[in-house]
């Protein structure tokens, strides 16, 4: 069975892969069964910390298993930790809200594509340490923060990858956002 070279996956992740190579990846039949592990290796090589990456959430964010405590945390590539992955990471960011036409127009072009401030606000989420923009959402004012991604990691690793995690437990796949926000009251 054909295996994808790590170097090709590195190029894919960094966006430097050429058109022919990316086309070859798309056409592979069957797909390389090791591709997820190679991908994790490539991601791990790109960060300066050693907590094990379990899954990538977005350009900057990862779910990791913290070495010292065994917690599953959301971590920015800069090393900043955004807490237990079961709570919406947005609650641990710096948030800028654009809720006037003037503020919204600064980030929309053409103006006709911009959301109307009477109906929507634009929320931008930033890492408190490296200030990378981690996400954006456009929602009606007062709408709860959207929790975009709560993966069932135990099931993904055991049922889909065939390599169960060694710290499986029943309450990993639960939304704990309310527990975090309750601490603020
Ligand atoms: Zn960061």
3-state SS class at 94 = strand
Q: Read off the pLDDT of each residue in 122-145 and give the average, rounded to a whole number.
A: 97
Report residue 16's pLDDT band, with 50, 70 and 90 as the boundaries: very high
Q: Read off the pLDDT of each residue in 39-64 and give the average, rounded to a whole number.
A: 97
The DSSP element (H or E) to which 10 belongs, if any, is helix 6-14
Q: What is the mean pLDDT of the chain?
A: 95
**Which tokens belong to 2?**
């054909």
Domain ranges for the chain: 1-46, 92-139
Report residue 34's pLDDT band, with 50, 70 and 90 as the boundaries: very high
What integer pLDDT is reported at residue 160 of this predicted model? 95
What integer pLDDT is reported at residue 111 of this predicted model? 87
Report residue 185's pLDDT band, with 50, 70 and 90 as the boundaries: confident
Q: Is the pLDDT of residue 1 over 80?
A: no
What integer pLDDT is reported at residue 152 of this predicted model? 97
Q: Is the pLDDT of residue 69 over 90?
A: yes
**Residues 167-177 pLDDT 10s:** 999 999 999 99
- How many residues are listed for the chain in this entry? 185
pTM of the model: 0.92
Centroid of ligand 1 to alpha carbon of 66 (angstroms)? 16
Centroid of ligand 1 to alpha carbon of 87 (angstroms)? 18
Sequence-separated (6 or more) residues with CB below 8 Å from residue 99: 117, 121, 122, 141
Centroid of ligand 1 to alpha carbon of 51 (angstroms)? 15
Centroid of ligand 1 to alpha carbon of 20 (angstroms)? 33
The Cα-based distances of 107 to 76, 103, 172 in angstroms read: 24, 8, 37
Centroid of ligand 1 to alpha carbon of 60 (angstroms)? 7
Helix 6-14 with 35-46: angle, nearest 10 deg: 60
Sequence-separated (6 or more) residues with CB below 8 Å from residue 80: 127, 128, 129, 130
What integer pLDDT is reported at residue 2 of this predicted model? 82
Centroid of ligand 1 to alpha carbon of 135 (angstroms)? 12
Report residue 68's pLDDT band, with 50, 70 and 90 as the boundaries: very high
Least Cα distance to 73 among 96, 94, 49, 97 occurs for 49
Least Cα distance to 25 among 14, 35, 40, 15 occurs for 35
């Amino acid at each position: 069975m054909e295996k994808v070279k790590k170097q090709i996956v590195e190029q894919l992740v960094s966006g430097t892969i050429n058109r022919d190579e990316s086309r070859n990846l798309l056409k592979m039949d069957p797909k390389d069964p090791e591709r997820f592990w190679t991908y994790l290796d490539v991601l791990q090589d790109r960060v300066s910390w050693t907590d094990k990456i379990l899954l990538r959430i977005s350009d900057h964010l990862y779910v990791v298993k913290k070495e010292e405590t065994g917690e599953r945390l959301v971590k920015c590539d800069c090393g900043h930790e955004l807490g237990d992955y079961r709570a919406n990471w947005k609650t641990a960011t710096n948030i800028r809200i654009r809720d006037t036409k003037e503020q919204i127009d600064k980030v929309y072009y053409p103006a006709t594509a911009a959301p109307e401030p009477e109906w929507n606000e634009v929320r931008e989420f930033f890492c408190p340490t490296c200030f990378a923009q981690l996400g954006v959402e456009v929602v009606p004012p007062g709408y709860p923060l959207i929790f975009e991604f709560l993966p069932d990691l135990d099931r993904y690793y055991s049922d889909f990858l065939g390599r169960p995690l060694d710290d499986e437990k029943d309450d990993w796949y639960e939304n704990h956002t309310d527990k975090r926000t309750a601490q603020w009251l």
